[in-house]
Amino acid sequence: MSTFFCRHFESWRIRPGARLACNLTSLAISASIAAGFLPGAQAAAQSVRPGPSDDFRAAFATSQDVAEGKRLADASCARCHGANGISTAKGVPHLAGQRAVFLHQEMKAYRSGARGKSMMADAAKFLSDDALIKVAAWYASLDPAPPIPVAMPKTAGSGPDPVSAGKAAAAGCGSCHGEAGISSIPGMPNLVGLDPKYLAAATNAYKGGQRKHDLMKALVSGLGEADVSNIALFYATQKPGRAQTPAPGNVAAGKAAAAACAGCHGESGIGAGATPGLAGQDAQYFVAAMRAYKDGSRADPLMKGPAAAVGDPALADLAAYYASLPPQAPKVVKTLDTGDWAQRCDRCHGVNGNSTDPRVPAIAAQRADYLERILNAYRTGARKSTAMSAMSKVLTEAEVGMLAAYYSQQKARAVVYVQLPARP
């Protein structure tokens, strides 16, 4: 049974009699990290290699394989990825020092069409599996790209804390909605007691025109994604209270009518996630919103039917009932900063993005524009991976930019994989 281990360069030694084991059948890797990398290092190993069906062949390429890989790469890949695997083209990744097994797997995915139609798919479809292995081995043998400093984007995780940033961004909202989000003007909604996901979605609906309101659209049109997120978080953290506005209507009758609404909005009008809380809401705003769902000026198939079933007299009663209820502060998830996100990414991609698993790509010193493009592809589902989709779907565009900039500035380290003989 063969075993192998990997080491980040520079200096590595095996003490006489030491056992550095990692069973290929379990695909687990014993690895350690040193301080730098050995210039000109090759991901080469012994001439004894795994069987032809084993995806780990690229990690154990011979020096002849690497030389042939250079010839193939110069002819097929260098125009886009650079003569030494260091790209100068926007959105095109560096390949120098990348993990050989990962490169082999990715090129096979392009060749099979799993990555869709692209220049890469066109280039890879003419290469045999043996050629892909040799190209992967060549690029893995090269010195990685040096980190390139880029400006870290301002996000919810940088600069002032998100709540303070949200308070500053919401400075213009107080004249209508109250300084702390509790309305005292009839027709102006309370903003407290709402889940930040709902409030952000509602703000973006005004911004995009899905909710028809010319004044609101003009007021929010200049807000960026981080601003909208921070404003929603600011109001979610304020002490909740009922709107300080009149609520004509029969509260008892409204309570009876509200039984049909409890399935989504809760028996006490406490919403969660994308479902708005109604407790303590301004009555006039509530009636106007229900009428908008009725006539279709607010397009929402889930609300159109229930709103159409409520007549105008009953609307006033419902509004009075919900206005009488005390709102509750929503549960707010801690906002993660750059370090928090990086710790999560490092679990698979290695410390500071230097993977020690030959199947997992190193992302240290990778081009920021490429990392941003790929993360957004996983985030939107354009690129498929169960693990990557689960990690990236919760990221905002701003957080994607932040992570891409962070990893592009990390020092990349080369890795060698050495095959060891089985114990007698």
User: Residue with structure tokens 């007021």?
Assistant: 219
What one-character DSSP code corresponds to residue 23? B
Task: Give the Cα separation of 154 and 158 in Å (integer).
Answer: 6
- How many of the other CB atoms lie within 10 Å of CB of 145? 23
74 vs 3, which has greater pLDDT? 74
Length of the chain: 424
For residue range 239-250, what is the model confidence (pLDDT) as tens digits?
999 999 999 999
Binning pLDDT at 50, 70 and 90, where does residue 273 land? confident
For residue range 305-350, what is the model confidence (pLDDT) as tens digits?
999 999 888 999 999 999 999 999 998 876 777 888 999 999 999 9
Q: Cis before residue 10, ω within 30 degrees of 0?
A: yes
Do the bridges between strand 415-420 and strand 3-8 make them parallel or antiparallel, or are there none, so unpaired?
antiparallel
Instruction: Kindly state the average pLDDT of the residues 278-299.
Output: 94
For residue range 9-40, what is the model confidence (pLDDT) as tens digits?
433 333 333 323 333 322 333 332 222 332 33
Q: Residue 338 has what pLDDT?
A: 85
120 vs 24, which has greater pLDDT? 120
Contacts of residue 312, Cβ cutoff 8 Å, sequence gap at least 6: none
Whether 190 and 181 have beta carbons less than 8 Å apart is answered as yes
Task: Give the Cα separation of 195 and 180 in Å (integer).
Answer: 15
For residue range 193-247, what is the model confidence (pLDDT) as tens digits?
999 999 999 999 999 999 989 999 999 999 999 899 999 999 999 999 999 999 9
